[in-house]
Amino acid sequence: MCGIIGCVGCGDGTLSTLLHGLSKLEYRGYDSAGVALVGDGSLRVAKKAGKLDALEAAVEERADLAGTVGIGHTRWSTHGPPTDDNAHPHQDCTKRVAVVHNGIIENYQSLRDELAESGHEFDSDTDTEVVPHLVEASLEAGRDPEAAFRDAVARLEGSFALACVVEGTEAVFVARNDSPLVLGIGDDATYLASDVPAFREFTDRVVYLEDGEFARLTADGWSVSDVDGTLREKTVDTVDWDPEDTGKSGYDHFMLKEIHEQPRALRQCLQGRVDELGGSVTLEELDDLDLERAHLVAAGTSYHAAVYGAQLLRDDGVPAQAFLSHEYATSPPPTEDATVIGVSQSGETADTLAATREAQRRGAETLAVTNTVGSTMARECDHVCYIRSGPEIGVAATKTFAGQQTALNLLTQHLSPGPVDRDLIAALRDLPSDVQAILDETDAEAVGETYLDSDAYFFIGRALNYPVAMEGALKMKEITYKHAEGFAAGELKHGTLALVTPDTPVIANVIGDGELARKTVGNVKEVEARDAPVVAVTDGQSDVERYANHVLEVPETHPRAAAILANIQLQLVAYHTAAKLGRSIDKPRNLAKSVTVE
C-alpha cells in the first residue's frame, strides 16, 4: 500500500520533485520512504525507515544522488517490519534495477525460492524484492529493459502498482493490477503517482491507468499499452480542484481543517441535486437505475455509512442490508434482484472492489458511492454517485463520511418508491448552516479535556444513530489510540454493562422525543446508576440532559439530518482528545488512508 511517485523531464529538479511528491503522499500512512534516480548512465538509491525527514536527512549527505529520471515510495509494512532494508525501492543483485511497488505479490515465496536456487541473493523480507531480480534475470537473458520488465510482471500473481527504472535507460516502466496509478501530463515533464496530490502542483491533466495496462515514460513523452504491447488510446482528464485545497490553510492539522470544510463539502454534494420548491431530488446519473433490493458493501468508516444508508432504504420500503465488503467478497449471499452498492471514499479500497467485482461476476448491477473521480470503482461499476467532498488528506475520514451520509439520503429519495419527504429536503438544505452552527458553538474541546484520562469510551445510539455511534468510536480509536466501542444502545445491558465504571464515559446520541429516544434515555439511566459519566449528544427534545454530565447540542432538524449533525460533535470530541494527548492526528500509527490490499 501507500505511495508511489515518479517523474521524467524534470531535469535537475528531479530529486526535489520526488521529495515533494512523497510529502504530498504522507497522508496515506507510511513507515519508511525512498527514492531511486537514473542519470549519466548510473542508478542511485536512498531509503530510510521512519518519516520523510529521515530520508531527507540521508539525501542531504549524498552529493552523488542526482538524475533526470526518478521514482519514489512511501511504504506501509505488509511483509517485514519497517527497516532500511525493507524500505523501497528494491534492487537486484547487480544494483542495475530499482523497483517500487504497492499491493501484495501472492506468489512471491515460490518466485523467491526459484530465484534463490539460481543464485540470487535477497536483502529484505518483502514480497516486492522478487521483481527487480526477475527483471535482472531477463536482462541477463538478452532482453531489453522494457521487455524484461514485462517478463517480470507476467510472472506475478496478486495486486500491484509497479514502477521500475534501469541503469543506463532514461525511462520509467509502469504496470498496474488492482492498485491505483495515475499519470500526470505536464508541458515538459510526465509524472506518475498513486494519487493526484503528488503532482497536482505541476499539472492538472491526468491519465488513469486500468488493470492490465503498462506505461512507458520518457523525455519524449508517454505511452500506454496492454499486456501484448498494443498501444492504447487514453483520455486525458482535467482535475478540477486547486493545489491549495490540499494545504492546511492555517489549521494545526488536516483533520481539523477538513472538519471545518464540511459546510462547503455538503453544499457541493447538494448542489444541483435538490429542488426544495419542486419537492424533488435529482440524480441524473442514476435515472436508469431501478432499485428493488440493495446490498451495501463497504469497510471501515464507509461501512458505517453503509449501515446508515441501509437503514434509510429500509425505512422507505426498500429491502436493504449492509455487509462488510471483505466478508461479502468471500461469502456473498444470493444477489437475486439486488443492486450492490459499493461505498468507498477512495474508490480504490481493495476489499470493496473485490465485493463489487464478485457481485458483477454473479450478474448483479453495481453502483459506486465514492469521492474520487476516475477511481477504479467509479470506472468499473455500472453506475456512480459522487459525494463531491473534495480532497481529504487526513487519514481519519471526516468530511467524506458526512458526504456519504448526505449522498445516501439523496440516493434514497431519488430511488425509493414512496413520495419525496419535503421536510427532509428542507433539512438537507439547512444542513451546511446547521453544521456551521455546531462548529461555532461546540463544547467538544471541554468534553475531551474532562475525560482525557478515561480507561475507555462507550458510544451508543439507536437506528440511524447506531452507525454514528460506531463511527464516533472508530474516530476515537484511530487518532487517540484509546479503547473505544460503539454499539446499538439496546446492547448495553447485554454484556457491556460489566465494563461500565466511573472511568468509562458513555457518549449517548439521543435525538428527538419518540420511542427510540426514550429507550436510549433508559440506557443512559442504567450507566448513570453505575456512576459512569454521560455525555449526551442531543437536539434537546428529550430529557436526557437531566442525566448527563455534559451536553453537546445539535440543531433540531429532521432525524435523518440530525444523525449527520451528531457525527460532527463526535468528530470534534475525538480530535480535541487526540490533540491534548499529543497524538499524530493526520498520520495515526499503523494506518493508511487508502487500503489497497485485502
Instruction: Output the CA torsion 189→190→192→193 (10° steps).
Output: 60
Assigned C-alpha cell, 473? 468510536
Q: Which residue is it, cell 517490519?
A: 81
How much is the CA Rg of the chain, to the nearest whole Å? 25
Assigned C-alpha cell, 143? 532482453
Backbone angles phi, psi at 539, to 5 degrees: -95, 5
Assigned C-alpha cell, 246? 490540499
**Pick from 372, 365, 318, 319: which is nearest to 345 by CA?**
372
Residue type at position 451:
Y
Assigned C-alpha cell, 73? 515510495
**How far apart are alpha carbons 256 and 394 in whole angstroms?**
9
DSSP codes of every residue in 407-435: HHHHHHHHH-SS---HHHHHHHHHHHHHH
**How far apart are alpha carbons 466 and 460 in whole angstroms?**
7
Q: Which helix (H) or strand (E) holds 439?
A: helix 422-441
**How far apart are alpha carbons 543 and 331 in whole angstroms?**
44
* Catalytic-labelled residue, pool 257, 477, 587, 593: 593
**Pick from 489, 481, 480, 477: which is nearest to 537 by CA?**
489
**How far apart are alpha carbons 103 and 163 in whole angstroms?**
12
For residue 479, the SS3 value is helix
593 in catalytic set: yes
51 in catalytic set: no
* Catalytic-labelled residue, pool 2, 7, 164, 381: 2
**Residues noted as catalytic:** 2, 593
